[in-house]
């Protein structure tokens, strides 16, 4: 699996909203490169926790805009919590440090 979300051309320009999602966890996905590699807008109005563990190929969360107003930290690998400006920047930073 290379990405979690793949949008068809018919819905390509619509925002994708995960209204009630509070926790998102990716574990042991060795081929995962991103949540979505295409440039879509994802809105997570309730997201409080994001965990990414044992996903060594994950370079970014999404190529588009990701809005998660209540998320201020990500649990990455063996480290407790990381945060660098936003979801994409945090995941990119960890990937580059490997």
Q: Is residue 21 part of a domain?
A: yes
Q: What is the pLDDT of residue 7?
A: 64
Is residue 42 one of the residues assigned to a domain? yes
Flag whether 65 is in a domain.
yes
Residue 6 lies in a domain: no
**Structure letter (DSSP) for residue 37:** -
pTM of this prediction?
A: 0.82
The answer to whether 55 and 30 have CB atoms below 8 angstroms apart is yes
| CB-count exposure of residue 64 (10 Å: 0-12, 13-18, 19+) | middle
The span from the CA of 43 to the CA of 97, in Å, is 27
Q: How far apart are CA 2 and CA 11, in angstroms?
A: 20
Domain tally for the chain? 1
The range of the structural domain enclosing residue 75 comes to 17-97
State residue 4's pLDDT score: 77
What pLDDT was estimated at residue 11? Answer: 56
């Amino acid at each position: 699996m290379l990405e979690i979300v793949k949008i068809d051309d018919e819905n390509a320009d619509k925002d994708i909203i995960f209204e009630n999602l509070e926790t998102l966890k990716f574990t042991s996905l060795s081929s995962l490169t991103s949540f979505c590699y295409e440039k879509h807008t994802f809105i997570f109005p309730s997201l409080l926790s994001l965990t990414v563990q044992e996903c060594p190929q994950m370079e970014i969360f999404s190529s588009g805009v990701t809005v998660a107003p209540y998320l201020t930290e990500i649990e990455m690998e063996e480290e407790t919590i990381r945060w660098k400006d936003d979801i994409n920047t945090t995941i990119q930073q960890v990937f580059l440090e490997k």
